[in-house]
């Protein structure tokens, strides 16, 4: 931006449940004649469509960044394949399991964001495609929730404190849940003595935790 002489202002929606915040931001930007374009990491796959359309009609191009969006009027997209990322995570776990029977908990992230469900589908595809015929793999339905630490702590407690889910081998977590899972296991290791944590993407916190050995892996597609 500096090389091109452009000015960029970053606006935080405040979380994946803050639909109103991002709608208000988009509405304000579409009316601001000093804004030449909008780069949007949408908090929801479809709920921003009409606001994207309004901005485009007012002459402000909108580009989707990282988080996919339906929005037929979107001008361009710069995205990752979260399905492929999920597949890589599943591939790693099958290799790491060494053909042993395993139990997995999957903490996906926000239910309506698109990327979390895509990641889970890719993960599930890898697990069932690559596992050995004699290998038994058990995992409950994925846990969806906003990526605030307090929400992920509740999701971890809800699933992992259930005796039916004791003795997990792998906790596959969004990055926030992964760092919270480290704390959870320190207090509840007796119920999950062999549990390993795998993050579905890398942040500064997960990178530090990987260096310390608290998280065993995270994908990085380049």
Note the pLDDT tens digit of each residue in 48-104.
999 999 999 999 999 999 889 999 999 999 998 999 999 999 999 999 999 999 999
pLDDT digits (tens, 9 = 90+) for 133-142: 999 999 989 9
Mean per-residue pLDDT for 9-23?
A: 90
Q: What is the C-alpha to C-alpha distance for residues 192 and 32, in angstroms, rounded to an integer?
A: 54
Question: For residue 37, what pLDDT is reported?
Answer: 95
DSSP assignment of 112-135, as one string?
Answer: TSSHHHHHHHHHHHHHHHHS-TT-
Mean per-residue pLDDT for 194-211?
A: 96
The yes-or-no verdict on residue 222 having pLDDT over 70 is no
Question: For residue 111, what pLDDT is reported?
Answer: 87
Question: For residue 112, what pLDDT is reported?
Answer: 81
Q: Which two tokens stand for residue 47?
A: 């709920």
Mean per-residue pLDDT for 8-14?
A: 92
Residues 6+ apart with CB under 8 A from 159: 105, 107, 140, 143, 165
Q: What is the mean pLDDT of the chain?
A: 94
Q: Which two tokens stand for residue 28?
A: 């304000």
Percent with pLDDT over 70 in the chain: 99
The yes-or-no verdict on residue 113 having pLDDT over 90 is no
Strand partners, 57: none
The yes-or-no verdict on residue 124 having pLDDT over 80 is yes
Q: What is the pTM of this model?
A: 0.87
Phi, psi torsion values for 192, nearest 5 degrees? -140, 65
Mean per-residue pLDDT for 119-134?
A: 96
């Amino acid at each position: 931006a500096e090389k091109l002489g452009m000015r960029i202002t970053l606006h935080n929606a405040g979380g994946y449940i803050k639909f109103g915040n991002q709608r208000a931001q988009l509405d304000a930007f579409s009316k601001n004649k000093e804004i030449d374009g909008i780069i949007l990491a949408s908090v929801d796959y479809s709920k921003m469509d009409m606001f994207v359309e309004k901005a485009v009609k007012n002459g402000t191009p909108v580009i989707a960044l990282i988080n996919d969006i339906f929005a037929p009027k979107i001008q361009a997209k710069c995205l990752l394949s979260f399905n492929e990322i999920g597949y890589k995570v599943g591939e790693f776990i099958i290799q790491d399991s060494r053909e042993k029977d395993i139990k997995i908990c999957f903490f996906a992230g926000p239910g309506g964001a698109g990327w979390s469900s895509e990641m889970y589908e890719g993960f599930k595809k890898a697990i069932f495609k690559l596992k050995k015929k004699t290998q038994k793999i058990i995992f409950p339905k994925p846990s969806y929730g906003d990526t605030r630490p307090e929400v992920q702590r509740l999701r971890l407690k809800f699933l992992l404190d259930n005796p039916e889910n004791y003795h997990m081998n792998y906790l596959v977590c969004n990055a926030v849940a992964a760092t919270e899972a480290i704390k959870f296991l320190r207090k509840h290791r007796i119920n999950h003595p062999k549990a390993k944590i795998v993050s579905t993407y890398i942040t500064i916190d997960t990178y530090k935790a990987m260096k310390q050995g608290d998280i065993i892996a995270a994908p990085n597609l380049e």
